[in-house]
Amino acid sequence: MKNMARLGITLMIICAAAALGLAAVYAKTSPVIEKRAREDLLAAVRAAMPDADEIVEETQDGQTYWLGKKAGEIVGGAIKVSSAGFREPIELMVGFNAEGKVSSVAIVSLNDTPGIGTRVNDKAFLDKFIGVENPMAVDAIAGATVSSSAVKGGVKKAIDFMAAIVAPSVTDGPIDIASVPDGTYTGKGLGLHELEVSVTVKGGKIVEVKVTRHEESPGIADPAIAGIPKAMVEQNKIDVDAVSGATFTSEGIIEAVKNALRPFAQTSAKPALDISKIADGTYTATGLGLRELEVSVTVQGGKITEVKVVRHDESPGIADPALNQVPKAIVENQSVKVDAVSGATFTSQGIMEAVEKALAGAPTK
């Protein structure tokens, strides 16, 4: 019995010594590991902007990005994005040229199936994104559809965030449909592929929208091709809610209608959202995080009283802090623009986008 007790005490001492040793090793090596990770990150940034003689780190809405400058002028930009892969999120460094176009795509973290999903790291595949406006139209690698989609979605996120930062331009405000002369107009937009629409305006109202040409996925895109034009006519507005499961096609149709009408319409600055004037009720809309998500927003007495994420396919664990904290912050701050949650920036932005769309389409009192 004494021998057993002695053995137990000895094992406890060994375990305690081992734990202390591991803690000491971690304390000593952790700063080295962090420094090396930072150096690797900056090396990827520099590789994305080889012509820059100065690199400036910036943060906007909780997202860190880098601008490359030469003689004080912006010559490019870079951003690290994460997109849900087959096993774990795939991390990309996306570079931009002075025109705001994608100039490079590099994978900085990839843990998908070796020999299958890892093929998205092939230079031939990544080079297909250089200069593209619509990364979703890039052909996926056969047998690696999930990993390919993750890369395409990540590049799209990078474009949506960075293009206007690197190459800012004066953007037109909302289109005043009432100012468009009677007639039928055509325009093009980008869903998964290029599509074309015709828009007929009469008496200051949209009376017909037709998708006259497209190569979107049969079956998947059909609800958007039928539903978005119908919603525009019924609501007499262009920025209608995207159809669930067909977000990119929906956005392509909306873009095409704007391109058709903008040259013939007057525009105005987008008015600030006044929550105090929104009628009591619960309103829903969709936004785009890593994937499409949907929120419901309840307004009572001119204040946001509740925000719920009612549907999403975001990454479990990674997105959870944003799904919990962003709705709470919106209610506490009474603002659709709150700080993004670190590590879940895109989910945070998707929630804010959905809330803003829900309230922008709500009736006023």
Per-residue pLDDT of 111-139, as tens digits, reads 888 888 899 999 999 999 999 888 887 88
CA distance linking residue 78 with residue 52, whole number of Å: 11
Residues of the chain above pLDDT 90, percent: 35
What does the pLDDT read at residue 170? 42
Exposed, middle or buried, 19 (CB in 10 Å: 0-12/13-18/19+)? exposed
Distances (CA, A) of 244 to 236, 269, 272: 21, 29, 27
What does the pLDDT read at residue 64? 86
What does the pLDDT read at residue 328? 95
Average pLDDT over residues 135-155: 88
CA distance linking residue 119 with residue 112, whole number of Å: 9
Assigned CATH class of 275-360? alpha beta
Quickly count: other Cβ atoms within 10 Å of residue 90's Cβ: 26
CA distance linking residue 206 with residue 293, whole number of Å: 28
> How confident is residue 201, by pLDDT bands cut at 50, 70 and 90?
very high
Quickly count: other Cβ atoms within 10 Å of residue 338's Cβ: 22
Mean of per-residue pLDDT scores for the chain: 85
> Does the pLDDT of residue 216 top 50, yes or no?
yes
Distance from the first to the final alpha carbon of the chain: 82
Domain positions in the chain are 54-166, 175-267, 275-360
What does the pLDDT read at residue 271? 59
CA distance linking residue 39 with residue 33, whole number of Å: 10
Q: What is the residue whose two structure tokens read 């009736």?
A: 363
3-40: pLDDT as tens digits: 565 666 666 767 666 666 665 555 555 565 566 767 77
> How confident is residue 226, by pLDDT bands cut at 50, 70 and 90?
very high
Q: What CATH topology corresponds to 175-267?
A: Sufe protein. Chain: A (3.90.1010)
CA distance linking residue 150 with residue 316, whole number of Å: 16
**Shared fold status for 175-267 and 275-360:** yes
Q: Say which amino acid occupies 337.
A: K
CA distance linking residue 145 with residue 124, whole number of Å: 16
Sheet hosting strand 183-190, strand order edge to edge: 183-190, 194-202, 205-213
Question: What DSSP string describes 129-188?
Answer: GTT-S-GGGSPPPTT-HHHHHHHHHHHHHHHHHHHHHHS-------EEGGGSPSEEEEEE
Residues of the chain above pLDDT 70, percent: 86
